[in-house]
Amino acid sequence: MKITILMGSPNRNGSTNILAESFAKGAEEAGHSVGIIDVTRMNINPCMGCVACGYEGPCVKKDDNDSVKSKLLFCDMVVFATPLYYYGMSAQLKTVVDRFCSYNSSLNSRHLKSALLAVAWNSDDWTFDALEAHYKALVRYINFEDMGMVLGTGCGTPSMTRRSKYPDEAYKLGRSL
């Protein structure tokens, strides 16, 4: 299986990266190929809602989103990796998700598997409620098959994350595919 991780953390050495690398290691050990796309380093502009694409491209924006599109339309699974920013995914990852608009039908027909890897400083039992609801709505709307979520509370720093159970959970999720 070809897996594409959409890395939504601008902190290359942060907690989100720890979970993504753990997941990738497990998935590769299970025989899958994994590619990580760092969307935070790409030039991807927000969707304007102009619908010139007719929900099936081409988008009037000429930027790096075509690279993301080509990876997603030729993989079997997408993994959303993000820190929790004000109870949602990072703006960089959200911008990519919003641009799904221009290839909505093609993406929907792929029936991709998906997963969510997220980290937050907070440890409240409601910390991930909004992000989890958004992810589940996205899965339902785009016809993804959810393979699981690793929602790392108390992961405010890389050292906190390394000492937590979440890197192992991400590894096990990748390995279980």
- Is residue 57 predicted with pLDDT exceeding 80? no
Q: What does the pLDDT look like over 99-110, one tens digit per residue?
A: 999 999 999 999
Is the model's pTM score more than 0.95?
yes
Instruction: Provide the pLDDT for residue 65.
Output: 94
- Is residue 26 predicted with pLDDT exceeding 90? yes
Across the range 2-18, mean pLDDT stands at 97
Q: Indicate the range of 43-47, 52-56, 81-85 predicted with least confidence.
A: 52-56
Q: What is the mean pLDDT of the chain?
A: 96
Instruction: Provide the pLDDT for residue 6.
Output: 98
- More confident call, 89 vs 57: 89
- Is residue 145 predicted with pLDDT exceeding 90? yes
- 3-state DSSP assignment of residue 33: strand
Give the span between the Cα atoms of 40 and 52, in whole angstroms. 25
* CATH superfamily entry for domain 2-175: Flavodoxin domain (3.40.50.360)
Residues with Cβ within 8 Å of 149's Cβ and at least 6 positions away in sequence, in order, are: 115, 116, 117, 118, 132, 135
